[in-house]
Each structure stands twice: as C-alpha cells, then as structure tokens.
A and B are shown apart, each in its own frame.
Chain A
Amino acid sequence: MLNYIWFALMAIAVVVAAFNGTAAGVTKGAVDSAKTAVEIAIGLVGIMTLWLGIMRVAEKAGLITMLGWLLRPISRLVFPEIPPDHPAIGAMILNVAANMLGLNNAATPMGIKAMEELQSLNEEKETASNSMVTFLMLNTSGIQFIPVTIIGVLSAAGSKNPTAIISTTIIATVSGAIAAVIAAKILQRFFPYRSAK
C-alpha cells in the first residue's frame, strides 16, 4: 500500500505542478523535506542513546517485565499474540505512559524499543505483525493528557484560559485511539500476514 501512496503523492504533485506552474514549489518541497528528515533523525541521536541506555538498565533490573505483569489484563485483551511476560509489553506500556505525560522525547525511543521487541516475535521481518499495527494505532492517535505544544500556542495568542482544551483533547484522543484499535482488529483479517511468494 505504501508503494502506491508514495508514488501517487509524487506523481500527483508533478501533474498538478504542470497545470499550476508550481514546479519550483515541488522542487523546494522535495529538497527542504529531505533536509528536514535528516535533521529530525540526527536530532534523535542524543535522546535515543540516553533512553535506550536507561531502558536496558530497566530491562536488566526486571522492571519492564514487572510493568507488563501489572497491566496484564489489559495487555492480554489488546495484544493477545504476545506472551504476557515478554518485554515487548513493558516497553509498550512505557511508551504509552510517556506519551500520556507529553514526554515526546522519551516516548519515541521507548516506542522504538517496543518495536524491536515486537520484531523479535515477528516471523515475517519485512511485514508488520498484528501486534505492531495495533501498537502503532496507540501512537498515531497521539494519546496525551497534556497537549503542551498547543497550550503554549494558545497562551502566546493571548488566550485567557489556554488549558480549557485539556478536557476536550483527552475525550477526542481517547475516542480516536479506541476507534483505531477496533478498526485494526477488524481490518487485520483482510490484510494477509504471510507474503504471497
């Protein structure tokens, strides 16, 4: 699917540019985005190194397994394919918890750690497992209790009560997350896991 979407985005851009005379905009979009992408990735090096190190300590100390064990009833419902004492569960819980608190810097390395654990259970290494997709749903729906960035924008724009949106954001984000997880559970049957070879 990504193959088609990727090509379609670029092909449509070039066709539209031909009609609108925006070829320069397309070139600028491509060059600037490539630069931004590398800056984002390199910007992750520091926090990634820090948190992957701390996560290893947590793993050795048995904290990640313990965390997974504590939230076992929920994790068994959402991730039935994963053995309950597998470190993947603990890493995913840490990622979601960090997201909830608005700690984006810590959430990304923890999420990547969780993906590595899920990959160790994955038999088709280039294909997303059901658990991986479900886990991504928890991240793309951006569950957070304190939307720090946007509260900053609201107060900069002169809002008298910038935190008024906390409650509405929680309701919207939790609804979106539940809908995405349910959609993933229903759709997983229609997207075969084994690649046709």
Chain B
Amino acid sequence: MIRIILENISLWAVPALLVGIPLIGMIRGVKVYDTFIEGAKEGFQVAVRIIPFLVGILVAIGMFRGSGAMDMLTRALQPLMSATGFPAELFPLAILRTLSGSGSLALTTDLIKRFGADSVLGRTAATMYGSSETLFYVLAVYYGAVGVKRTRHTIPAALVGDVVAAAVAVAVCAWLF
C-alpha cells in the first residue's frame, strides 16, 4: 500500500513540478517563460564547469582499479573484516561503493546473480548499493560546480556515514531475511 503510493509519487513528481511551479509563478505574476530562460542560461556553464573536477577524480580512481590495486586492498583488509563478522563476500562492494558508481553497480549485479536474487547475501548487496551514494562522484560534481577545492572534513565524515550504512545494511538484512 505504502509502496504503491510511493511509486505513484515518483511517477508523477516530475510532471507535477514542471506544471505546478510555473502555475504558481503565473498566479504570483511572474513572467514564467522569461524567468525560465534566465535561469536556464546557466545550465551549460555549470555542466562544463564540473568537467575538470570530474575528470581528475574519475581518472585517479580508474587508474587505481585498472592496476589491480583495488583487489589487493580488499584482500589485505579481508582478515580484519572477517574478525568483525562482516560477510567477506560483500566487503569489496563496501569499498567500491564509495569510489565508483558504475563499478559498484556492476559488482552488485554480479553478486546478486552469484548468490541468487532472493538470497540473504544478494539482498544485503542490493541494500548496500541502495543505501549509499558514490562519495567521490558527489564530491566532484557539487564542489566542482562552485569551485571549492579545500574539502576539509567532507571525506572523513562521509566515510563514517558509509561505514555505518554498510554495517546497518548487513545487520538489518541478517535479522529480517
């Protein structure tokens, strides 16, 4: 029931916003088309402004993965993780999720196929993928758009969130499924 409501909201949200916002603008006496064009002019520049940040981050991560360093890191940390009770099969996903969106989606798909779409491990992998966003992508896009270079505590704080999300995903799935 709740699911159907949520799905319908998702389905209708964009059309409703695209009509609803200009409608309220019209009522308030805003010249909606002129205002739209004025704001829309920025779109191209913003997208282009992100390019250097995104190339920088994605290339470094692409090299790291391409060299096999990613797999070595995972293997090196494996004993540590098994001591905490975190499923060894899902550990590579926990690391990759922070670094690469397309990479972690491919890995999640692979894990789901390997363990079964209704298995506890498959569902845990799916939950882990769904419960976090790729830190370095978000970092490059959002800071890139405004030209911020000193990120301060962004990375450590986000990693705390990622660790908690992954741990909660494993615990909740083990309990529920």
Contacts and interface: CB of A to CB of B under 8 A. Distances in A.
B135 A140 contact: yes
Interface residues of B, number: 101
A101 B146 CA distance: 25
A160 B118 contact: yes
A115 B148 CA distance: 10
B132 interface: yes
A77 interface: no
Main DSSP-derived SS at the B contact region: helix
A141 B166 CA distance: 11
A115 B50 contact: no
25 contacts: A6-B57, A9-B63, A10-B64, A14-B63, A16-B68, A17-B67, A26-B63, A33-B59, A33-B63, A45-B44, A106-B17, A112-B145, A116-B145, A128-B143, A128-B151, A128-B152, A132-B148, A142-B131, A150-B126, A154-B123, A157-B122, A159-B118, A172-B131, A173-B130, A180-B162
Interface stretch (A48-56, A68-76, A79-87): A48-56
Interface string B43-78: 110111011001111111111111111001000000
Contacts of A29: 59, 62-67
B132 A179 contact: no
A7 B168 CA distance: 32
B154 A136 contact: yes
Contacts of B105: 149, 153
Q: How large is the interface on A (under 10, 10 to 19, 20 to 34, 35 or more residues)?
A: 35 or more
B146 A115 contact: yes
Given A12-B64, A44-B46, 14 more contacts: A6-B56, A13-B69, A25-B68, A37-B54, A50-B43, A52-B42, A61-B21, A126-B148, A140-B135, A149-B105, A154-B117, A173-B132, A176-B132, A195-B150
A133 B108 contact: no
B24 to A, nearest CB: 5
A137 interface: yes
Main DSSP-derived SS at the A contact region: helix
Nearest to A104: B133
In this complex, the member of A45, A51, A60 whose beta carbon has the largest number of chain B beta carbons within 10 angstroms is: A60
A61 B47 contact: no
Interface of B: 3, 6-7, 9-10, 13-14, 17-18, 21-22, 24-25, 27-28, 30, 32, 35-40, 42-44, 46-48, 50-51, 54-69, 72, 102, 105, 108-109, 112-113, 116-118, 122-123, 126-135, 138-139, 141-143, 145-158, 160-166, 168-169, 172-173, 176-177
B168 A60 contact: no
A46 B47 CA distance: 9
Nearest to A47: B43
A111 interface: yes
